[in-house]
Chains A and B, each alone.
Chain A
Amino acid sequence: MLLNQFLFLSAVLFCCGVYGVLARKNGVLVLMSVELILNAVNLNLVAFGTYNHTVAGQVFALFVIAIAAAEVGVGLAIVLLIFRNRRSVDLTEADLMKG
């Protein structure tokens, strides 16, 4: 197997995630797109780890998974708080800090 095929797949996933973060306005969907981005990064880490014959890539992927779990927990709590205060999770309406 070529190293590049994993890197290309990961690039496609990353760009899907970037599109989702920029184009979605539902808070939960934006968090899902962030998960896509994190998974693309993890795939890269594991692919390079196998390519270099070291487990360091996998160890870092495990750290990223743990931090992604924390990120989703806090992120969903914030989205719930926005929903409770404004009765909607529309992120374009959450513009209190816009100048």
Chain B
Amino acid sequence: MDAQNIAFWLIALAMVIAAIQVVTSLNIVRAALSLVVVLAGVAAQYILLAAEFTAVVQVLVYIGAIIVLFLFGIMLTRARIGREADLDNDQRGAALVVALGLLALLVLLLRDAFGGERIGAEAPSTTAQIGDAIFATYVIPFELSSVLLLAALVGAIVIARKD
């Protein structure tokens, strides 16, 4: 097993434990902080996939901005900081069945479809290539996403303001 594989499995283990913590923890702040571990793990996997620009954006946007937004949301909805008994509804069993069934289905499908395919990271993509792709091939989706962000910004302010 080479160093990349060892790194992958270590990070993956931490991510899975943290992801289960996010959806089962009875402490809402702990759930948010476990989400940080998952997001950082995803950034680390991007680096293993030779996608360093996406990894940096992941850290900046998710860990830097979205987690802070979540913590603001937790504080503004006056959640308790300690343990809280009623964070789950009464469909936990059904949800567990659905999630495990979906997982089994996906694993079977993926094993059939891509078993044995290897990722070669011989030529890592550069940031310049991504910039070229965004501003040439994907320039219209890029502009549309700018408009979407503006609309979401204005919409969020309109929804959340007190009047």
Interface residues of A (CB under 8 A from B): 1-9, 11-20, 22-29, 31-33, 35-36, 39, 42-43, 46-47, 49-51, 53, 55-56, 58-59, 61-63, 65-74, 76-81, 83-84, 89-92
User: Given A65-B57, A68-B66, list of 15 further CB < 8 A pairs?
Assistant: A1-B5, A2-B116, A5-B8, A15-B103, A18-B95, A20-B22, A36-B35, A42-B54, A47-B119, A49-B51, A50-B51, A59-B134, A65-B62, A73-B152, A77-B157
Cβ–Cβ < 8 Å partners of A4 in chain B = 110-111, 114-117
B positions within 8 Å CB-CB of A = 4-5, 8-9, 12, 15-16, 19-20, 22-23, 28, 31-32, 35, 38-39, 42, 45-46, 48-51, 53-54, 57-58, 61-62, 65-66, 69-70, 72-74, 76-79, 86-89, 91-92, 94-96, 98-100, 102-103, 106-107, 110-111, 114-119, 121, 123, 125, 129-130, 133-134, 137-138, 141-142, 145, 148-149, 151-153, 155-157, 159-160, 162
Most buried by A among B23, B48, B62: B23
- Check B70–A32 contact: CB distance below 8 A: yes
Known: A18-B99, A23-B88. A28 touches B73 (CB 8 A): yes
A-B contact pairs, 17 of them (CB 8 A): A5-B12, A15-B103, A16-B99, A17-B23, A18-B102, A25-B87, A28-B28, A29-B23, A42-B42, A56-B137, A59-B133, A61-B54, A62-B54, A73-B156, A74-B152, A74-B159, A83-B77
